[in-house]
Amino acid sequence: MIAALAPITTPSVDWLAIAPEVTIGVTAVLVVLARALLRRRPEVTPIAYVITAIGIITAAVLLVVQWNDVQDHGPTRTMAGMVRLDGFGVFLGIVVLIATTMAILVAVAYLRREDLEVPEYLALMLFSAMGMLTMTTANDLIVVFIALEILSIPLYVLAAFDRNRLRSQEAGIKYFVLGAFSSAIFLYGIALVYGATGTTSISGIAIFLRGNVLFEQGTLVAGLALLLVGLGFKVAAVPFHMWTPDVYQGAPSPVTAFMASATKAAGFAALLRIFGVAFLNYRTDWQPIVWALAALTLIVGSIGMLLQVDLKRLLAYSSIAHAGYVLMALQTASPRGREAALFYLFVYTFMVVGSFAIITVLSMKGDDDHSIAGLKGLAFRRPVLGTLLVLFMLGQAGIPLTGGFIAKLEVFEATANAGEYVLLAIGAVATVIAAFGYLRVAMSVASSPEDEHPVAEGIVHRKVDIATWLVLAVCGGMTLALGVTPSVFVHWARDATLIGAHALIGIL
């Protein structure tokens, strides 16, 4: 009787803080319901697109409202402190939503060409994006794990979505098996951290470590290392990168664009928040590990690019190398490094999605032949596509007047300010090595055409749909704008780091 009269306490919920995630999740459910109710009717596809568009636009508006709210009132916590809304999370949430929107637009013509189910594809993409948005604002390791699974399981299916292609099936299986191992490792890391600190709250761990001295640090350091391994898989850091070339090559090209941009942003959101907040006071323990990971990732990614003859595999190793630059920024454990990491992820999103959008257009039905040799003469056959592909390659190489140059400059400056000159030198050398890989693609595009090449012949009259043109225009324009007038976006990344700075350094 006493127990029945005891008051029931529930955690406070700030619905604005979780509104974008809820919106995307509800949108995905509505797409599934539309598919179930309309079944094989022809109107199910346009209805699915309309529902998706409304959901994404609503989520975008809510993210803007969140940004204004954070600017006016500072960071907020909700769901018993498991979710934190701050400038850092909103910034990366916007990056994830931009990447998701562009990946869906690129997929419109692709799904029609390959005769794949549209509603199922959209629902899976939206569910994965919901997990990514949740990860950007997660303030508890359990929430990070749940978000990791929400974003990963749909991605496993998306990688194997084309059931008519053996490579797609192989990509899905490889990604699933290795992803399951990484999730188990990450969960074990959470258990060890909980055993050492008595909490899974990211801010709670920071408070505990600030107020207590651990005489036996083995459990904590082991847990920290396992967390790094689990998230290192998602961002394709060496030596946890083995899945990347095969999965990038085998997955449908729009899915690969989504994985290379949105997944990487979500993975680094967790890494930056966990290591920049929870374990900031123990940075002397994890900085050497991250230093080694960054160096290995830069070297393996850059050299691996030079050995590829398939453009998707080359971009897979490019993605690995770019993860190395963000790890350089993480290694500094400074606000300047976090700012550089945010800006780099923002810039990289446009360059990589633009690259895979062109690959999607140029690939034949079956999406299997992406040889660099097949690009010969592209500048003569399709001048606009050829020019844009060269622009994206030069941007990723870090050539001046492109966003990639400013992004690398920001990372190098943060690394130099932290006094990590050896890592800075490795990053500079890796940039030069990788440039040869990107220039090889650019030279192939600009070389004289080979009329007898079947792929080159097939793309001469290939029409580009309006949705893909929109993505290419945005990506090309942003790659140039971020290189010519980057100050607005650099200041935005700086504001995202400074708004709620107390939360980011563990002073709560």
Predicted pLDDT at 213: 75
User: Residue 84 is inside which H or E element, if any?
Assistant: strand 83-85
| The dihedral sign for the CA sequence 45, 48, 52, 54 | positive
Using the 8-state DSSP alphabet, how is residue 385 labeled? H
User: Residue 428 is inside which H or E element, if any?
Assistant: helix 421-446
Q: Is 485 left (phi over 0), alpha (psi -120 to 50) or beta?
A: beta
Burial of 208-228, coded b for 16+ CB within 10 Å and e otherwise, reads bbeeeeeeeeebbbbbbbbbb
State the 10-residue block means of pLDDT for the chain, 508 residues long: 58 82 94 84 84 95 92 83 88 94 92 87 94 92 93 92 84 89 92 90 88 80 91 89 88 92 92 88 88 94 90 92 93 90 94 93 78 84 89 92 92 92 93 92 81 50 82 94 90 82 44
Distance of CA 121 to CAs 64, 147, 195, 390, Å?
Answer: 27, 19, 40, 30
Q: Is 416 left (phi over 0), alpha (psi -120 to 50) or beta?
A: alpha
Neighbouring C-alpha atoms within 13 Å toward the C-beta of 226:
21
Rg of the chain over all Cα atoms, to the nearest angstrom:
22
Question: To the nearest 10°, the Cα dihedral for 145, 151, 156, 162?
Answer: 180
Q: Is residue 76 classed as helix, strand or coil in its secondary structure?
A: strand
- Residue 284, C-beta contacts closer than 8 angstroms, at least 6 positions apart: none
Structure tokens, 199: 């909490």
CB atoms within 10 A of CB 295: 20
Q: Where are the domains of the chain?
A: 12-504
Predicted pLDDT at 433: 93
Model-level pTM? 0.92
What is the phi/psi pair of residue 83, to 5°? -125, 135
* Euclidean distance between CA atoms 370 and 309, whole angstroms: 9
Predicted pLDDT at 394: 93
Predicted pLDDT at 505: 44
Could you tell me which residues are beta bridge partners of residue 138? 83
Residue with tokens 């005489």: 215
Q: Identify residue 236 by its one-letter amino acid code.
A: A
Nearest residue to 79 via CA among 17, 13, 151? 13
